[in-house]
Amino acid sequence: MSLFDSVQHFSRFNLAVFASGSGSNLQAIIDAVESAAENKDCELDGELANVNIALVISDREGAYALERAKKHNIKSMVIGKNETAVLLDTLKMHNIDGIVLAGYLSIMQPEVINAYENRIINIHPSLLPMFGGKGFYGMRVHQAVIESGEKYSGATIHLVDTGVDTGQVLERFVVEVLPEDTAETLQKRVLETEHFLIVKGVKILTRIKSDESIIDVIAKEGTGMGIQGCDMDEAFIYTRNLDGVYIPANRGGKFWMKILVIGSGGREHAIGWKLKQNPWVELYFAPGNGGTAEIGTNVDIKVDEIDKLVDFAKENDIYMTIVGPEVPLTMGIADEFNRCCLRIFGPSAEGAKLEGSKAYAKQFMNKYDIPTARYDVVSSIDDGLKVLNESNYPLVIKADGLAAGKGVIICDDKVQAEVALRDMLDNSIFGDAGSSVVIEEFLVGKEVSLLCFTDGETIIPMETASDYKRALDNDMGANTGGMGSISPSPYYTSGLGDESAQKTLHGIKSEGFDYRGVIYIGLILTADGPKVLEYNARFGDPETEALLPRLETDLVKIMSATIDKRLSECNLCWSDKKAVTVIMTSEGYPDKYNVGFDIMIPETKSIVFHAGTSLVDCESGASNKIVTAGGRVLAATALGGNFSEARDIVYNDVASIDFQGRTYRSDIGAGAV
């Protein structure tokens, strides 16, 4: 049972807010309560839906907080710090259930604290217990932090006791102190965290039952903010910054930010590997593979079991969920997580349609003047044959829907095209994905994968990559999900894809998509300039395995900022090294292949990401073993000062990895040397 199921809310929770100054924290509470009244279906906002800001009290005439209260028709008054009896009578008269000190500079009288024991919280502009106590308030705190040389400051929500800033800490948010910071600039950034944190404090207050205090609620059920049954004497509440990075509250405690990665391939292993470089991350993978089990916990939930994934995120206090594959995105997993107020990295179903329907993507490109190949969309053999009769060859036939990266067939002549058309429309070789098809002009040029982070307001391209689709050397054989990748693409000149990226962002904004994730822009560099071949609504695979080892910026920070629509604050840093990724596959891939063979991986210089593998329990106490469980089995990535060096490393390592029926291309990156 979740905390939300077990806590009984009052029909009305009467809150008193005390403020001495401008009341910006008061405004944050007002905004949150008004928003909650409009979004009662949102589970987290529901905690505030019954809050009534019954009273605003200041110890100073002329405090702007009083004006804020009046603008929102909230009763307000000035009560001097020594008018204890008047204050207690006023609070009783208004049936106050909890008190928030939001920038209140007077010391609360013991009589009031005792009357509302463990029902008063305060926001303090530092990481208590540092820079707390008498004399530490307002700008003095920030000046003291600057002068001390501390690397971190922030804000703290704590219970109020009869000491000064000595009550039990509930949660902290961290702000990095920058070398160029002044007390004023630090105060500005800390205040932003206060606005978020004070609302969370109000949510704690709403969980009080008629016969319980805050401490009782915390001890029994946790606050839903990372406590969950911790020893209250041992850092039971933890510090978090606005990037979502958690740090032990007392520098001796322990907290892991729980992140759920959805998927089971090499892409998901690579994402998890990069996230794990943040020391405070605890990873879960659904369902994961043999490699992800070594860096996190695999959860037996399929990628399309959205209700189960939502329940898991709720029950396990998941801070952020990252969606790897396209299927759950097109099913609307981001919509469902957002409806439940769960943080998720990935676009809505409407945004994911850019990948889910090739016909829709082509219409989007045309609508927003994004250069692409000429095309027709057909859903019957007769219509298709008419297009083939009027076409030049070669041409490309694509299944409209999702086909695991295999729904594209290049046809050299009309005979091949007709076979492909009948296979898709009549024989349904790609199922419903081929119920309509796109017949497209064949473009000549080098292909480049341009992956971009976007929060729907800002778009930031990553470094480029080029992948290898065909199963055999020299780009021969069947189309696959990808046999290898290199980064950066040697064919790309800086800025070539900027126009396509910006036009894509313009389209996302104009269509009103809730798009917070990655948009993959598949470019082809033609004689007429770059054109867009396709969109993916997520990280590409195997491009991710080549890109993320070159990323030097904390991926947790980037993803958290994307979810929070703060991507404009991020600067991405990349290694100058070259990456070569070689995919090792099961014999017969992409057609029929066998699985279940033991995999032997010696120590390597390359990073070995698992894709189609699983962990098998062994009997008699022997160590668990890794076996093949898919067509694409492993992705080995090496970094080097140049492509030649990276190729030498990765192919030396690939040769040392053994499993029955292993196959791989020998020419990944050869053209870049």
Q: Does 82 fall in a domain?
A: yes
Q: Does 647 fall in a domain?
A: yes
Counted domains in the chain: 5
% residues pLDDT > 90 (the chain): 67
Between 58 and 49, where is the model more confident?
Answer: 58
Whether the CB-CB separation of 493 and 510 falls below 8 Å is answered with: no
- Residue 29: count other Cβ atoms within 10 Å of its Cβ: 24
Q: Which domain holds residue 179?
A: 125-156+171-252
Give the pLDDT confidence score for residue 622 in this predicted structure: 60
Condensed to tens digits (0 to 9), the pLDDT of residues 312-342 reads 998 888 889 999 999 999 999 999 999 888 8
Cα 410 from Cα 414, distance rounded (Å):
11
Which amino acid appears at position 269 of this protein?
Answer: H
Q: From its phi and psi, is residue 543 left (phi > 0), alpha (psi between -120 and 50) or beta? A: alpha
Q: What is the mean pLDDT of residues 186-191?
A: 91
Condensed to tens digits (0 to 9), the pLDDT of residues 9-32 reads 446 899 999 999 999 999 999 999
Q: Does 5 fall in a domain?
A: no
pLDDT category at 257 given cuts 50, 70, 90 is confident
Q: Does 423 fall in a domain?
A: no
Cα 309 from Cα 327, distance rounded (Å):
14
Give the pLDDT confidence score for residue 673 in this predicted structure: 73
pLDDT category at 602 given cuts 50, 70, 90 is very high
- Check whether residue 461 and residue 357 sit in a common domain: yes
Does 46 score more than 70 pLDDT?
A: no
Give Cα 173 to chain centroid, integer Å: 19
Q: From edge to edge, which strands make up the β-sheet containing 437-441? A: 375-378, 437-441, 395-399, 408-411
Give the pLDDT confidence score for residue 56 in this predicted structure: 96
- Sorted by sequence, the CB contacts under 8 Å of residue 50 that are 6+ apart come out as 9, 10, 11, 12, 13, 206
Cα 188 from Cα 522, distance rounded (Å):
41
Give the pLDDT confidence score for residue 344 in this predicted structure: 95
Between 79 and 279, where is the model more confident?
Answer: 79
Condensed to tens digits (0 to 9), the pLDDT of residues 225-234 reads 332 222 222 2
Reported residue count of the chain is: 673
pLDDT category at 617 given cuts 50, 70, 90 is confident
Give the pLDDT confidence score for residue 316 in this predicted structure: 86
Place of tokens 């952020």: 320
- Check whether residue 485 and residue 598 sit in a common domain: no
- Check whether residue 358 and residue 507 sit in a common domain: yes
DSSP H or E stretch at residue 195: helix 183-205
Q: Which of 575, 601, 633 is the last residue of a domain?
A: 575
Q: What is the mean pLDDT of residues 32-60?
A: 78
- Check whether residue 181 and residue 36 sit in a common domain: no
Give the pLDDT confidence score for residue 233 in this predicted structure: 28
434 HSE (CA, 13 A, CB side): 23
- CA 326 → CA 385, 450, 480, 535, distances in Å? 31, 17, 16, 11
Cα 548 from Cα 270, distance rounded (Å):
7
Q: Does 418 fall in a domain?
A: no
Among 131-140, 421-430, 475-484, 597-606, which stretch is predicted with the lowest mean pLDDT? 131-140
Give the angle 408-412-418 at the CA atoms, nearest 5°: 70
Closest C-alpha among 658, 657, 638 to residue 649: 638
Q: Does 458 fall in a domain?
A: yes
Give the pLDDT confidence score for residue 54 in this predicted structure: 94
Does 642 score more than 50 pLDDT?
A: yes
Give the pLDDT confidence score for residue 623 in this predicted structure: 67
Whether the CB-CB separation of 443 and 366 falls below 8 Å is answered with: no
Residue 109: CATH number of its domain: 3.40.50.170
- Check whether residue 24 and residue 146 sit in a common domain: no
Q: At what angle do helices 349-356 and 358-367 cross, to 10 degrees?
A: 100
Cβ-in-10-Å burial (0-12, 13-18, 19+) of 528 comes to: exposed
Range 408-425 burial, b when 16+ CB lie within 10 A, else e? bbbbeeeebbbebbebbb
Whether the CB-CB separation of 68 and 27 falls below 8 Å is answered with: yes
- CA 21 → CA 25, 28, 61, 480, distances in Å? 10, 14, 10, 63
- Check whether residue 555 and residue 657 sit in a common domain: no
Give the pLDDT confidence score for residue 192 in this predicted structure: 86
Does 517 score more than 60 pLDDT?
A: yes
Cα 279 from Cα 252, distance rounded (Å):
14
Whether the CB-CB separation of 616 and 627 falls below 8 Å is answered with: yes
- Check whether residue 110 and residue 27 sit in a common domain: yes
- Which value, to the nearest 10 degrees, does the dihedral of the CA atoms of residues 277, 271, 658, 597 take? 120
% residues pLDDT > 70 (the chain): 89
DSSP H or E stretch at residue 17: strand 13-18
- Sorted by sequence, the CB contacts under 8 Å of residue 433 that are 6+ apart come out as 399, 400, 401, 402, 403, 407
Give the pLDDT confidence score for residue 414 in this predicted structure: 93
Cα 222 from Cα 201, distance rounded (Å):
13
Q: Does 638 fall in a domain?
A: yes
Cα 127 from Cα 249, distance rounded (Å):
8
pTM of the model: 0.68
- Check whether residue 510 and residue 615 sit in a common domain: no
Give the pLDDT confidence score for residue 214 in this predicted structure: 61
Condensed to tens digits (0 to 9), the pLDDT of residues 471-512 reads 999 999 988 889 999 999 999 999 999 999 999 999 999 999
Does 273 score more than 60 pLDDT?
A: yes
pLDDT category at 608 given cuts 50, 70, 90 is very high
Which amino acid appears at position 641 of this protein?
Answer: G
Query: What DSSP letter does each residue of 453-475 carry, written as one string?
Result: EE-SS-EEE---BEEEEEEEGGG
Q: At what angle do helices 64-71 and 24-38 cross, to 10 degrees?
A: 20
Residue 634: CATH number of its domain: 3.90.600.10
Condensed to tens digits (0 to 9), the pLDDT of residues 563-601 reads 988 899 899 999 999 999 999 999 999 999 999 999 999
Q: Which of 291, 310, 345 is the last residue of a domain?
A: 345
Q: At what angle do helices 498-511 and 358-367 cross, to 10 degrees?
A: 100
Paired with 14 in beta bridges are: 52
Condensed to tens digits (0 to 9), the pLDDT of residues 524-534 reads 999 999 999 99
Query: What DSSP letter does each residue of 380-413 carry, written as one string?
Result: SHHHHHHHHHT--SSEEEEESS--TT--EEEESS
- Check whether residue 366 and residue 505 sit in a common domain: yes
Cα 412 from Cα 407, distance rounded (Å):
16
Q: Which of 192, 218, 252 is the last residue of a domain?
A: 252
Give the pLDDT confidence score for residue 265 in this predicted structure: 96
Whether the CB-CB separation of 524 and 443 falls below 8 Å is answered with: yes
- Check whether residue 459 and residue 566 sit in a common domain: yes
- CA 342 → CA 31, 321, 595, distances in Å? 20, 8, 36
Residue 324: CATH number of its domain: 3.40.50.20
Average pLDDT, the chain: 87
Give the angle 358-360-363 at the CA atoms, nearest 5°: 110
Q: What is the mean pLDDT of residues 420-446?
A: 91
Does 252 score more than 60 pLDDT?
A: no
Cα 664 from Cα 673, distance rounded (Å):
19
Helix runs in 39-83, H state only: 64-71
- Check whether residue 505 and residue 593 sit in a common domain: no
Condensed to tens digits (0 to 9), the pLDDT of residues 348-402 reads 999 999 999 999 999 999 999 999 999 999 999 999 999 999 999 999 999 988 8
- Check whether residue 491 and residue 358 sit in a common domain: yes
| Tokens, residue 484 | 């290898």
Give Cα 104 to chain centroid, integer Å: 36
Q: Does 401 fall in a domain?
A: no
Among 179-188, 193-202, 249-258, 419-428, which stretch is predicted with the lowest mean pLDDT? 249-258
Cα 482 from Cα 542, distance rounded (Å):
6
